[in-house]
Structure 1
Amino acid sequence: MPSPSDLPTASEFSFRKIAVQAFGPSLLFGVGEGAILPIIPLTARDLGASVPIAALIVGLISLGSLLNNIPASLITIRWGERWAIVAAGIWSAMGMALCLWTSDLRLFSIGCLMVGMSQAVYYLARQSYMAEAVPIAYRARAMSTLGGVMRIGMFIGPFLAAAGVHAYGLDAAYAIGIVAAIAAAAIGARLPDLKAAPLPAGQVAPASVTTLSTLRDHRRVFLTLGIGVVLVAAVRASRQAVIPLWAEHLALAPALASLIYGLSGGIDMLVFYPAGKVMDHKGRRWVAVPSMLIMGTALILMPFTHGFTTLLIAALAIGFGNGIGSGMIMTLGADHSPSHGRAHFLGVWRLLSDIGSSFGPALLSFLAGSLSLAAGIATTGGIALLAAGALAYWIPHQDRT
């Protein structure tokens, strides 16, 4: 098992050597989640749930991730990144299997919660592994690619599920998800374990790290750049609802709304690697700030769109802005995480991200209900601009090597 000293230097490193083991599980996790997410509310309805309850059950996936971020750090520390990834794949498959085989709505809800719990473990373990295994000169490209291949999987998954559901019914989507999760675990099992390098002669081992000590020792980062992470996550989570809701407001046909959403997602997937390269060579600010500025401007202008073409332009801008920010939160987390106690730090970092992901859509829903959908979308755009300012101010000037 290699130690960090055994890992390649920047001049020796090649993505080709780790591509399958490092990025394959992300692609497959994305396929599995993408396959089941559109089907969960339909299954819930078939099991007798009302529309609000079905929406709540979908939200259990995000809740499971939110609640499990800190336990995920403990699991990763106890078992190591490789076995944490394997465990996440198996736990996700078990949750999907419970969704597939139960006819009880409560058990179905537990299955969805299990899928969300596995997300937290997997996301943290893969980020922690890449932060250790990849030289810092390639870090942003590695994190951007992790986020990018996950999005590709999320894009592919619904199409595979659609074909399976057409041929065999709703159960086929869960079968696809189970196969993808198990395959992700199998590929993840091939990752080499990482061991801490031995301490230099005469150096004393650092004190034991806990979540509380991590919060105390890194409180300045969490209360500054961490706020920016919350804002970024809020905007990203809200954008997924904004496009279809505004398309419906404009009375566009569902097929046109789906086309706009798909094209926006396509742009999102195409730009992640070049953006990572810019972050590695020029610095994190060069991508993080423009990402939020572009999304914020597009969201603020979206309520002024009046048809297919103008909405498509705004949606493409949102997709581009979100795409260049792929892996941004993971990269910043890895940059600021200590080598000793990294998993604890990243667990808190992911918790901040998940808080933002829960807060954004909730605020959008509240404003759309109390004021108007246009006000909710414009406010989301304002949050994006606020995030751009926070990132510009708090990302260190010397953030690369």
Structure 2
Amino acid sequence: MPAPVAADRPLRRLVVPAFLPAAVFGIGQGAAAPLVALSARELGGSVAAAGAVVALLGLGQVLGDLPAGRIVARVGERSAVLLGSAVGLVGVALSFVATSVPVLGLGVGLFGTASAVWGLARQSYVVDAVPEAMRARALSAMAGLSRLGFLLGPFLGAAVVHLVGTRGGFLVQLVAVVAAGALMAALPRLEHPPDAAGGRGRGRTGASLRAVVTAHSRVLRTLGAGALLMGAARASRTAVLPLWADHIGLDAVTTSMLFGIGAAVDVALSYPAGRWMDRRGRRGVAVVSLLVFAAAHVALPLTAGAVTLGVVAVLMGVGNGLSNGVIMTLGADAAPVDARAEFLGAWRLCHDLGMLAGPAAIAMVSAAAALGAAALAMGAVAGVGAAAMARWVPRRPPRPRAI
């Protein structure tokens, strides 16, 4: 049996069991993400059908959030990871061998559901494994490494695609799911004194998911609304930035470079943002990140070339980098002591609904008005989100309570 992990063990002791799997899992996601739509087109799907298949990833994650909380609560993080890995393997395998668009969509949706289980199990474990004073930087570091993996994934995927064709990205993803699952399946056993920081939330009340959501409905309606708006602002950038680049006549290579620069800024700011949250509180980071998103979206229609759009891409990278770990940290702070996993499932659902709604809002406003109007609308959404975070994020993390 693995040796117990002490509650005050430094973050570096979590590199192999928690942080490295996040990066490996991110590599798999990044390798496959650019190829989902292309695979759908190769199978004879229309542009609309390809877009729907891409959306199924987010939909699968949304549908998996609430069950993920219950699964982690019932079977524990290690078993939940094994289950999520098994479902993810089935999903990726279906995507790899799909001979029709519906089969591809099923595979993509299953992987989204597996991602929800994976993400919640990872978050729950890290929250228990670190002292409360290091919670934000631990979660931000994990989020940043996941983003780093996602940034590197397309390059590795491109090399495999060159050898085996478009489905090569799914092959990389398959290997990544196996490797990340194997690493997390060896999670060290956690043992804490009853009052140890970071050791809370291991008990189970047996409360139903409905009871947990009802008991914490005020937090989910208020702070959860801020999480939803942040999710919408974060996700919209992946749609509005490349669409505007195409609108002003930039080619795919330039657009990819600008996106890469923004992503590099994103990764670089993740850990510093976590330290800021641990030292100064969560509110400042949450509000500033959304204000930066608002400024970037409002400035987007004013750009007319690669340089000015590059400035906006960097701004979006700053906003996203600062927001890395914010949602996970706020959720961990607000979670009840004896029903953490169930609460976190509902909490993640708030954010993931925003992630699903953001690109959809861009599409709808663009169709009804113009792309510039869609960008301004998302700027307003981010501004409202900043106000919500300023109003509802506590100055200091609250002490967790029972339901």
Out of 226, 232, 250, the position equivalent to 1:252 is 250
Give the letter aligned to residue 178 of structure 2.
I
Cα shift at 1:286: 2.1
In the alignment, what sits opposite 1:125? 121
Give the letter aligned to residue 350 of structure 2.
L
Q: SS of 1:65's equivalent?
A: helix
Name whichever of 92-101 and 231-240 sits farther off. Answer: 92-101
Q: What is the alpha-carbon distance in structure 2 between the residues aligned to residue 212 and residue 195 of structure 1?
A: 29
Q: What is the alpha-carbon distance in structure 1 between the residues aligned to residue 229 and residue 119 of structure 2?
A: 19
Cα shift at 1:110: 1.3
Give the letter aligned to residue 395 of structure 1.
V
In the alignment, what sits opposite 2:379? 381
Q: What is the alpha-carbon distance in structure 1 between the residues aligned to residue 253 and residue 106 of structure 2?
A: 33
Structure 1's unaligned 5+ residue stretches are 200-204
- The answer on 1:88 being equivalent to 2:84 is yes
Cα shift at 1:400: 7.3
In the alignment, what sits opposite 1:21? 17
Q: What is the alpha-carbon distance in structure 2 between the residues aligned to residue 179 and residue 264 of structure 1?
A: 27
CA deviations on 1:123-163 (whole Å, 9 max, x unpaired) are: 11111111111110000001101111110111111111111
CA deviations on 1:8-53 (whole Å, 9 max, x unpaired) are: 35xx431111111111111111111111111111111111211111
Q: What is the alpha-carbon distance in structure 2 between the residues aligned to residue 91 and residue 206 of structure 1?
A: 25
Q: What is the alpha-carbon distance in structure 2 between the residues aligned to residue 238 and residue 282 of structure 1?
A: 28
Asked if the contact 1:86/1:184 (under 8 Å) is kept, the reply is no
- The answer on 1:109 being equivalent to 2:105 is yes
CA RMSD, Structure 1 to Structure 2 (Å): 1.9
Out of 269, 285, 291, the position equivalent to 1:287 is 285
Cα 1:2–1:338 shift into 2, 3 Å: farther
In the alignment, what sits opposite 1:392? 390
Asked if the contact 2:32/2:169 (under 8 Å) is kept, the reply is yes
Q: What is the alpha-carbon distance in structure 1 between the residues aligned to residue 91 and residue 258 of structure 2?
A: 32
Cα shift at 1:354: 1.3
Q: SS of 1:39's equivalent?
A: helix
Cα 1:90–1:207 shift into 2, 3 Å: closer
- The answer on 1:40 being equivalent to 2:36 is yes
Asked if the contact 2:266/2:317 (under 8 Å) is kept, the reply is yes
- After TM superposition, the structure 1 = structure 2 runs for residues 200-215 of structure 1, keeping only pairs within 5 Å, are 207-215=205-213
- After TM superposition, the structure 1 = structure 2 runs for residues 332-371 of structure 1, keeping only pairs within 5 Å, are 332-371=330-369
- After TM superposition, the structure 1 = structure 2 runs for residues 51-200 of structure 1, keeping only pairs within 5 Å, are 51-194=47-190
Asked if the contact 2:5/2:191 (under 8 Å) is kept, the reply is no
Cα 1:273–1:104 shift into 2, 3 Å: same
Q: What is the alpha-carbon distance in structure 1 between the residues aligned to residue 316 and residue 174 of structure 2?
A: 32
Q: What is the alpha-carbon distance in structure 1 between the residues aligned to residue 41 and residue 193 of structure 2?
A: 53
Cα shift at 1:360: 1.1
If the length of structure 1 is used for normalisation, what is the TM-score? 0.94
Cα shift at 1:396: 0.9
In the alignment, what sits opposite 2:271? 273
Asked if the contact 2:230/2:382 (under 8 Å) is kept, the reply is yes
Give the letter aligned to residue 356 of structure 2.
S
Q: What is the alpha-carbon distance in structure 2 between the residues aligned to residue 172 and residue 193 of structure 1?
A: 36
Asked if the contact 2:229/2:382 (under 8 Å) is kept, the reply is yes
Cα shift at 1:80: 0.6
Cα shift at 1:57: 0.8
If the length of structure 2 is used for normalisation, what is the TM-score? 0.93
Give the letter aligned to residue 315 of structure 1.
A
In the alignment, what sits opposite 1:223? 221
Cα 1:197–1:2 shift into 2, 3 Å: farther
Q: What is the alpha-carbon distance in structure 1 between the residues aligned to residue 193 and residue 105 of structure 2?
A: 43
Structure 2's unaligned 5+ residue stretches are 196-202
Cα 1:207–1:42 shift into 2, 3 Å: closer
Cα shift at 1:197: 6.4
Q: SS of 2:34's equivalent?
A: coil
Cα shift at 1:339: 1.7
Give the letter aligned to residue 334 of structure 1.
A
Cα shift at 1:7: 5.1
Q: SS of 1:306's equivalent?
A: coil
Asked if the contact 2:73/2:204 (under 8 Å) is kept, the reply is no
Asked if the contact 2:22/2:142 (under 8 Å) is kept, the reply is yes
Cα shift at 1:169: 0.9
Q: How many residues align?
A: 392
Cα shift at 1:86: 2.4
Cα shift at 1:301: 1.2
Name whichever of 160-169 and 229-238 sits farther off. Answer: 160-169
CA deviations on 1:80-137 (whole Å, 9 max, x unpaired) are: 1112122222321221111112313322221111111101101111111111111100
Q: SS of 1:293's equivalent?
A: helix
Asked if the contact 2:70/2:209 (under 8 Å) is kept, the reply is no
Asked if the contact 1:70/1:347 (under 8 Å) is kept, the reply is yes
Cα shift at 1:198: 6.4
Give the letter aligned to residue 235 of structure 2.
A
Asked if the contact 2:331/2:344 (under 8 Å) is kept, the reply is yes
Give the letter aligned to residue 52 of structure 1.
A
CA deviations on 1:39-79 (whole Å, 9 max, x unpaired) are: 11111111121111111011111111111111111211222
In the alignment, what sits opposite 1:202? none
